[in-house]
Structure 1
Amino acid sequence: MTSSETLAGGIRPRPIVGRLPRYAAGKPPVDVAGMVSYKLSSNENPLPPLPAVVEAIANQTDFNRYPDPLSSKLRNALAEFLDVPADDIVTGAGSLGALNQLLAAFAGQNDDGKADEVVYAWRSFEAYPISVGLAGAESVRIPLTADGRHDLEAMAAAVTVRTKVILLCTPNNPTGPVLTATETERFIQAVPSDVVVVIDEAYQEFVRAEDAVDGLAMYRKYPNVVVLRTFSKAHGLAGLRVGYSVSNPELTQYLRMAATPFAVSQIAERAAIVSLQNYPQVVERVQSLVEERDRVTAGLRELGWFVPAAQGNFVWLSLGADSGEFAELAGERALSVRAFGDEGVRVSIGEVEANTRFLELCANYTKPPRRS
């Protein structure tokens, strides 16, 4: 539907709704005779939640009651786990829910009718332009470098008096590279201190680069920094929708006002707490996926394929106009991958057999991605 179309009874959506891109969730794999199907299109953890988590939530029966709107028990557990004050944590329905709360509080349409600006790299998390647009703000997208990294110099140069929020996705989804501590701190120091700098670390647990930025370290040094994290990826709780932001009290007081009431259910809160209590097991599972990621990346490079530095639970293939064709070929092999128009294909790290089948497909594909 475009902004010029009307619904029954003459109802019209806000004009911005017709201009926004549609969020395209990763599709499930198709059934192929004689083959096990694997979904590698949504950056999901292929491993189920920890047994202790499954047991804990199976024993809950209090769903006739509303959950604690402040998720106090989870915030206290996170405060101890992260060594931050519980008052600096605001929970949300995944890290995306936490982001939407932040945008609602700090970026949108002003009393003079002018929209605030939100600066972010592109391509990055595909929900960014949707969330920014629905908040009433204007997106300022800065192209990635040829190796899939944020162009921080260009992003800093794009900041104007209307800029209210900057989004830094690290590792960047869908391309994979991280921001380093040195370049991130230099960037934060270069932008005005009244601009909120969001460090989106949805895949933080998968990072092994020694020079990677630690969002919490930046939050402790700079009062305009907000960190986003989630239990969806490393903890395998994507379906329960629990994430959070960490920021200084000057910001959290407004984030709580913008927070969706009861966004984190009691089952999600309990699952997250138990997962934190068993974190060594989470680390073991994450490490197994990191080793698979490194195996896949090494295999692709042995084939002569260019792959950006992968630090999440996925790899990026800059296949350009061949992206759709590659995704179709993967589908014929019972693998669902995520094609982004004519830009590239993101492939999540899944089960060992799935990853091996993906490498076999690449070994027989004659149009490998090259560094542009």
Structure 2
Amino acid sequence: MYPRIRAALDDVPAYVPGQSAAGLVKLSSNENPFPPLPGVLERATAAAATLHRYPDLAATELTGELSEFLSVPTDFIAVGTGSVGVLQQIVQSVASVGDEVLYPWRSFEAYPITTRIAGASVVEVPLDAESRLDLKALTNAVTERTTLVLVCSPNNPTGPAVRRDEFAALLARVPEDVLVVLDEAYVEFVRDPDAVNGLDFLAAHPNLCLLRTFSKAYGLAGLRVGYAIAHPPVTAAIRKCAVPFGVSSIAQLAAIESLHSQDAMRERVDAVVAERTRVRDALLAQGWPVPETEANFVWLPTGARTMEFAADCRQSGLLVRPFDDDGCRVSIGEPAENDLFLAAAQAGIRSRRSRSSSVSRRTSSRTIPSQTPTSGGRPTKL
């Protein structure tokens, strides 16, 4: 006989990472295609000499650097093991059995996982027809059981960013005792002047929490360091839910050195953004209905052919991230890697048109459903 395991875990989906395979181009995990920023590897290597010591539990130096960089007090910052680690701390601090956590769907796949682990109920609000977050519908789904609202901007995996005016409207309507988390993991890649920046709203909204990371723009995905920015009662609760000594000394010092390399970071991010524009423009020219993206990836609404398209890409030598029957997320890599993907996408759109044409000839008396997923209807409570 085995020990009794919490029944709530039966419905917890497993986190599905982007695949890796020797010899294949990996465009499945939204990783930065560049190596660590100047000076980071050297400082991280030097820090390895102290591996026999525990790291600074409070991440004091890193917190101070972030405080100065963001122009917020140190007690507004809570550091954790990547933004997903901090997310789990946030959920644990405000949600439990009987509570509801709201978020758009499809969005970051860790949202339902962390919510169900905490024992709370998930409420998933569909995206609109352009793969954007429908914040009005999200706000309308708030009930007296709601304790947390999660907003991902730019949205992972579809790419569009939330606009400043629609986020302001959400904050104005959500009750003050409900925590609103703005997940800004890709904020450095945003170029839309109308997109929200959470720091602009933080001072006036004690129920707002921002979530950021060093994994994407700063290229520290392998070291797991992220942080929350919120008012002190919120960050104090987040810290209580942290695994002690979770952020290693190597990660803390690498993050500090990365903050000191802003010019190099921006240059690299600009290069990714330029490739993002080139790739999306090429996909649109091929005939793919690719939504706007402010992140370091593009979204292909492949619908029922999602797994087939991902398999075709693998045969072409690259890995993309499929999501059930919704679509494929493809990270922006180096130019040659992106060219390989564009060639696979061109073959995919030809196959799609050929298949549609063949079906149309055989079924001229009925309408063929679009492969592009649409959203609508009522929020789903699970």
TM range (shorter): over 0.9
Deviation, 1:48, is 1.0
Q: Give yes or no for the alignment of 1:57 onto 2:49.
A: no
> For each residue in 1:319-352, what CA deviation from the matched residue of structure 2 results, as whole angstroms up to 9, or x when unmatched?
1011111101110111000111111100000111
- 2:123 maps to which of 128, 140, 144: 140
- 1:43 maps to which of 22, 30, 39: 30
- 2:179 maps to which of 175, 191, 196: 196
In structure 2, the residue matched to 1:34 is: none
Whether the 8 Å CA contact 2:326–2:373 is kept in 1: the answer is no
- Structure 1 letter corresponding to 2:56: D
In structure 2, the residue matched to 1:333 is: 316
Q: Give yes or no for the alignment of 1:26 onto 2:30.
A: no
Q: Secondary structure at the match of 1:261?
A: coil
Q: Give yes or no for the alignment of 1:289 onto 2:246.
A: no
Query: Gapped runs of 5+ residues in structure 1?
Result: 1-8, 32-36, 110-114
Q: Give yes or no for the alignment of 1:12 onto 2:8.
A: no
- 2:109 maps to which of 126, 131, 149: 126
- Structure 2 letter corresponding to 1:21: P
- 1:180 maps to which of 163, 187, 202: 163
Query: In angstroms, what is the RMSD of aligned CA positions?
Result: 1.2
In structure 1, the residue matched to 2:69 is: 81
Whether the 8 Å CA contact 1:322–1:342 is kept in 2: the answer is yes
Query: Gapped runs of 5+ residues in structure 2?
Result: 354-370, 375-382
> For each residue in 1:24-78, what CA deviation from the matched residue of structure 2 results, as whole angstroms up to 9, or x when unmatched?
11111454xxxxx310001111111013101111112111111111101001000
Q: Secondary structure at the match of 2:124?
A: strand
In structure 2, the residue matched to 1:112 is: none
- For normalisation by structure 2, the TM-score amounts to 0.91
- Structure 2 letter corresponding to 1:82: L
Q: Secondary structure at the match of 1:124?
A: coil
Whether the 8 Å CA contact 2:102–2:146 is kept in 1: the answer is yes
Whether the 8 Å CA contact 2:303–2:373 is kept in 1: the answer is no
- Structure 1 letter corresponding to 2:3: I
Moved more, 144-153 or 161-170: 144-153
> C-alpha distance in 1, partners of 2:317/2:21?
6
Q: Give yes or no for the alignment of 1:347 onto 2:330.
A: yes
> C-alpha distance in 2, partners of 1:328/1:30?
16
Whether the 8 Å CA contact 1:167–1:197 is kept in 2: the answer is yes
Whether the 8 Å CA contact 1:23–1:127 is kept in 2: the answer is yes
> C-alpha distance in 1, partners of 2:104/2:230?
22
> C-alpha distance in 1, partners of 2:346/2:321?
19
Structure 1 stretches of at least 4 aligned residues deviating more than 3 Å after TM superposition: 368-372
Q: Tell me how many residue pairs correspond in the alignment.
A: 354
Whether the 8 Å CA contact 1:29–1:335 is kept in 2: the answer is no
- Structure 2 letter corresponding to 1:20: V
Change (3 A) 1:262 1:50: same
- Structure 1 letter corresponding to 2:314: G
In structure 2, the residue matched to 1:4 is: none
